[in-house]
Structure 1
């Protein structure tokens, strides 16, 4: 998975909020054509929290069909372990290769509970699990040592950007354990994560501008710091500043940018809201700038 950008496709909806399977299929096929390292349907960017079980099944099935074994399909799951196990069963039946375990709902929990949550889910699915620490989920070193011993838990995606703690976890992990940079707009911190042994990262930008995402990935891998800095200054940092203007923009801005490029992904579902007209205009300008930087067209 470290050989390409990790792609998190958007779930397509019609204007009335219903699932748009055709739009989603087109979107996934277009993402796969740009050679990602893996594809992660029905995760945070894919609005997992807004999907019912039937919609989730359809989203995972379409992704598996379009991937056709070319890259791993890692479906999202979450909530409490009992509900997560229901989604896991659906993902198994739909042909997913693994699961990304999103943070549980609402409550804070002690380390023992976080470990037990994963253990109970792992006991109820044949699919490998990648734990996602973000929000109220953060593993300390002893708890992390315990989750690496749970059969079926193969990796950790980190969204906290606590590089001191993350370095301790990487040093404590088995040699075949997988780590992923899952920070919001992960490219901003990609160099720092790579320095502590975590080069693989998810890219929301890949959902609407794979030209930019792949150019950044190639420059980072080749040590072309001039290009990395140019893309950070000209596109990624301004994008983060725009993203931080309103809650939920980490998803709704991405979806709006995809629509600006003609992708049939539709609106976000409540409780998310689409960007304001002013922010949409700023996004269009920024998207043009980013594409110009890599010689692509809007």
Structure 2
């Protein structure tokens, strides 16, 4: 259902409020660079600090500005099942192609709780679900057996996974348990090359915010089985993948965008703060290495 380079978009702020004009420019730049889909209101979009009204406005603007050029995977995750359903219902009406639903954070549900959570969403919304597993942030791990059970139980609803577990063996686990049609997307830019080689179809990317064309070219090389070109592009991007996390994300990527896009601020929302001088130097060096400055 999805493939290629899919940026997890930042939410630009100016003086504490959502900067709609900057966001519209970002959406256009991403599509023009070859991104195959867009994800508003994910982790990189600081969804955890957006009010529901802001959250829905960001999704609405993204869909409006994309104007059908690429599908929108709206961030719908929450540690409150009912609030996740609210986001999914809004996103369906707004025209999203799917909802990205992170494993509930902070609550620390066991695997039966995860099955109940995602089953409830699948049964009460018409919007297809992209599971999102990122144990480093949520503490909870969406284990392969649970993913297999959910995807097989709801094949028309649970259509993909963004896997940021950093465990590459899970690509094969999912393929063996679900089948090759289940869409697997890497949630780690630095692991996208081996992830795709194992059977992945693309990456929901942080780095693509800053380097949409390079990330799209890299993913296309992977899809074409052109390993020489994929390695070449990966080498250009590799330092940037790590620089994006030299400080709490998305502070480094917003700083990077302020370097490559005119009028884009590096403003983040509390409890995050602007990235450190050390992180800025790492980002600058990585941008230079990638040929983006």
Counterparts of 2:87 and 2:286, CA distance in 1: 37
- Are 2:212 and 1:210 aligned? yes
Counterparts of 2:162 and 2:25, CA distance in 1: 27
Q: Which residue of 1 aligns with 2:183?
A: 178
Q: Which residue of 1 aligns with 2:282?
A: 282
Q: Which residue of 2 aligns with 1:91?
A: 91
Q: Which residue of 2 aligns with 1:113?
A: 113
- Are 2:19 and 1:46 aligned? no
Counterparts of 1:3 and 1:199, CA distance in 2: 5
Asked if 1 retains the 8 angstrom alpha-carbon contact of 2:73 and 2:96, the reply is yes
Question: Which whole-Å deviations, capped at 9, do the CAs of 1:6-51 have from their partners, x for residues lacking one?
Answer: 122211111x211111111111111111221111111111111121
Please list every run of 5 or more consecutive structure 2 residues that lacks an aligned counterpart in the other structure. none
Go from structure 1 to structure 2 and tell me whether the alpha carbon gap of 1:114 and 1:12 turns closer, same or farther (over 3 Å shift).
same
Q: Which residue of 1 aligns with 2:54?
A: 55
Q: Which residue of 2 aligns with 1:294?
A: none
Counterparts of 2:237 and 2:196, CA distance in 1: 20
Asked if 2 retains the 8 angstrom alpha-carbon contact of 1:205 and 1:212, the reply is no
Deviation at 1:265, TM superposition (A): 4.1
Counterparts of 2:146 and 2:252, CA distance in 1: 35
Please list every run of 5 or more consecutive structure 1 residues that lacks an aligned counterpart in the other structure. 292-296
Question: What is the aligned-residue RMSD (CA, Å)?
Answer: 2.2
Go from structure 1 to structure 2 and tell me whether the alpha carbon gap of 1:107 and 1:56 turns closer, same or farther (over 3 Å shift).
same
Go from structure 1 to structure 2 and tell me whether the alpha carbon gap of 1:64 and 1:102 turns closer, same or farther (over 3 Å shift).
same
TM (norm. structure 2) is 0.88
- Are 2:146 and 1:143 aligned? yes
Q: Which residue of 2 aligns with 1:19?
A: 18
Asked if 2 retains the 8 angstrom alpha-carbon contact of 1:5 and 1:37, the reply is yes
Q: Which residue of 1 aligns with 2:159?
A: 154
Secondary structure of 1:38 counterpart? coil
Counterparts of 2:140 and 2:68, CA distance in 1: 31
